[in-house]
Structure 1
Amino acid sequence: MLSTSLKSVLHHARYFPLWTALTVLRWRTFELRSRGLGTTLGTIVRWFPPARRRFDREVKRVFPDMKRGDRTRLGQNMGRHMGRTLFEIYHDAEFQTQHHKFSVSGPGLAALKEANAAGKGAIIVSGHFGQWEAVRAAVKMNGMESGAVYRPHKNRHYERRIFAGIEAGGKPILATGRVGTKALVRHVRGGGIISILLDEKYAEGVRIPFLGHDALTSLSAAQLALKYDLPMIPAYGIRIDDGNAFQVEFEAPIPHTDAITMTRAFNDSLSARILANPDQWYWMLRRWEGASSPA
């Protein structure tokens, strides 16, 4: 077991590169700072061997015939997008006010408004794709507010900044786990909206196909939707115009059937988005770990 002091030193050391990048860029415009962090992460994914190997392993699973040069470009572009996403989350209060960047469409928005007007809760489901905080920005632009479920970061410096950023996008912010689940139930039963990212590995989950391979997937969103008769609405913030703007699309609510069928419908929805824009999904999640082996 690491001592508390050693853990503290490691947390500082791991956070220092990001702190440096954010500090060096702090006097530039929002867009230039966003691009700067994007360029940094894109370079890391391309040239830092552990990151490149991890990325290649996951991409080869889905695109086994992709040439090495194409994988390299895909990884660098993914890194650029994720760097910009991270910057925007860290500065979410400012990001949420940039209404000129958001174009909102899709039948799910009307369903969300209808539920909200009736005092009924709703569940928005998305993934680590595009800029997922753009979805909550669009919700706020339409006179509503969505809380979010998040997984706390082990590094206290990352955790402090990420939590503050996510909280600026809408409340409540609920950590995964038993306490957070109880608060989540109270929130949606009371008519609240919650946004959940369903593309992380869930050890107690069910094997459901995702991008053609079984992945351990949580059924919690579908189970809540069924138990409390809530709309479960897939929504995505897709980067357009060289990453400077966002097309936020609210798909039609997933029909209520059973938890596995509904969750599979979401996995299919997100898979289609990723296949259309593979550089906008965060391939480093180890999504299939423990569920299946690479082809």
Structure 2
Amino acid sequence: MLSSSLKSVAHHLRYLPLWSALSVVRWRSFDLRSRGLGTTFAVVMRWFPPARRRFDREAKRVFPDMTRRDRTKLGQEMGRHMGRTLFEIYHCAEFHTQHQKFRASGPGLDALRAAQAAGKGAIIVSGHFGQWEAVRAAIKMYGLESGAVYRPHKNRHYERRIRAGIEAGGKPILATGHVGTRALVRHLRAGGIIAILLDEKYAEGVPLPFLGHDALTSLSAAQLALKYDLPMIPAYGIRIDDGDAFRVDFEAPIPHSDSITMTRAFNDSLSSRIMAHPAQWYWMLRRWDGQ
């Protein structure tokens, strides 16, 4: 009982700084509040040693020749992007209505619309890069809706807010695990669209190259695409115009072959995006832990 109470108190204390940052300036415009949280996260990345060390460890792996000064700048810019991203997800209902911010294009968008017109489902694959919710927001402009797969957060306060935000962007929202997988299959077989972020470490995954280093990677998206004959479409929401707008690129569907080849193709796709815009990827994922 005492352990449970202490855990609850810890959850409150850890969530309080974020709640404060999200709440104290509600009277300001959406973009100003978004920039404000971005600035807060940039400061954390500059002055909070645990965050800085964690970032440095991952960035050094990919950019071994980068100077400490450039690494510090990259970490701050990543924090700025991720702070804005988190704000937009927390306020996803409002974010998704700002159609003027989203500029969608690419062969994958046509493939997605064609699949829906034929009554087929589709799998959108992306990563913690740019603003991934911009992808789901963009397809709403074409009358489409995508559910999403997500990993529940241990902090119940953060979990409640983040899940509500993701649900506002489109349903169903499916947690990782066996129950979520069964619901995901039903959704796809019924002709639904699902978005999956494939750049987190998956302990039961296969080591595949990612940013030049092997990383344990889930094959589930490719396996589902092959089993149910669905397009697997890489898509990315890249911040432009000082971060206030998004270029949403829908790449051509990854050709069907086998799950490893297809997943490697996605890893290569995301890696090239990250190398072009390194500050827009969330480097804190511990992507290569244990490798």
TM-score of the alignment, normalized to the shorter chain, above 0.5: yes
Q: In structure 2, the residue corresponding to 1:215 is in which secondary structure?
A: strand
Q: Distance in 2 between matches of 1:94 and 1:268?
A: 33
Q: Distance in 1 between matches of 2:24 and 2:143?
A: 36
Give the counterpart letter for 2:90 in structure 1. Answer: Y
Q: Residue in 2 aligned with 1:247?
A: 247
Matched, 1:130 2:133: no
Mapping of residues 217-236 of structure 1, within 5 Å: 217-236=217-236
Q: Residue in 1 aligned with 2:39?
A: 39
Mapping of residues 204-219 of structure 1, within 5 Å: 204-219=204-219
Q: Residue in 1 aligned with 2:17?
A: 17
Per-residue deviation, 1:168: 0.4
Q: Distance in 2 between matches of 1:223 and 1:47?
A: 43
Q: Distance in 1 between matches of 2:158 and 2:101?
A: 26
Q: Distance in 2 between matches of 1:197 and 1:21?
A: 26
Give the counterpart letter for 1:126 in structure 2. Answer: S
Give the counterpart letter for 1:145 in structure 2. Answer: E
Q: Residue in 2 aligned with 1:260?
A: 260
Q: Normalising by structure 2, what TM-score?
A: 0.99
Q: Residue in 1 aligned with 2:151?
A: 151
Following superposition, which runs of at least 4 residues in structure 1 exceed 2 angstroms of deviation? Answer: none
Q: Distance in 2 between matches of 1:138 and 1:265?
A: 24
Matched, 1:51 2:51: yes
Q: How many residues align?
A: 291
Give the counterpart letter for 1:231 in structure 2. Answer: P
Deviations 1:143-175 (A, max 9, x none): 110000000000000000000000000000000
Q: Distance in 2 between matches of 1:201 and 1:237?
A: 21
Q: Residue in 1 aligned with 2:79?
A: 79
Q: In structure 2, the residue corresponding to 1:125 is in which secondary structure?
A: strand
Deviations 1:210-267 (A, max 9, x none): 0000000000000000000000000000000010100000000000000000000000
Q: CA RMSD in A?
A: 0.8
Give the counterpart letter for 1:246 in structure 2. Answer: F
Q: Distance in 2 between matches of 1:136 and 1:266?
A: 18
Matched, 1:109 2:70: no
Q: Distance in 2 between matches of 1:126 and 1:244?
A: 20
Summarize the Cα distance change of 1:148–1:62 in structure 2 as closer, same or farther, 3 Å threshold.
Answer: same
Per-residue deviation, 1:27: 1.2
Mind listing any 5+ residue stretches in structure 2 that lack a counterpart? none
Q: In structure 2, the residue corresponding to 1:284 is in which secondary structure?
A: coil
Per-residue deviation, 1:3: 1.1
Q: In structure 1, the residue corresponding to 2:237 is in which secondary structure?
A: strand
Deviations 1:41-85 (A, max 9, x none): 010011100000000000000000001110011000000000000
Q: In structure 2, the residue corresponding to 1:285 is in which secondary structure?
A: coil
Per-residue deviation, 1:2: 7.2
Q: Residue in 2 aligned with 1:30?
A: 30
Give the counterpart letter for 2:219 in structure 1. Answer: L
Matched, 1:190 2:193: no
Q: Residue in 2 aligned with 1:91?
A: 91
Matched, 1:278 2:270: no
Q: Distance in 1 between matches of 2:20 and 2:103?
A: 33
Give the counterpart letter for 1:234 in structure 2. Answer: P
Per-residue deviation, 1:24: 1.4
Q: Distance in 1 between matches of 2:186 and 2:220?
A: 14
Q: Distance in 2 between matches of 1:28 and 1:139?
A: 28
Q: In structure 2, the residue corresponding to 1:72 is in which secondary structure?
A: helix
Q: Normalising by structure 1, what TM-score?
A: 0.98
Matched, 1:140 2:143: no
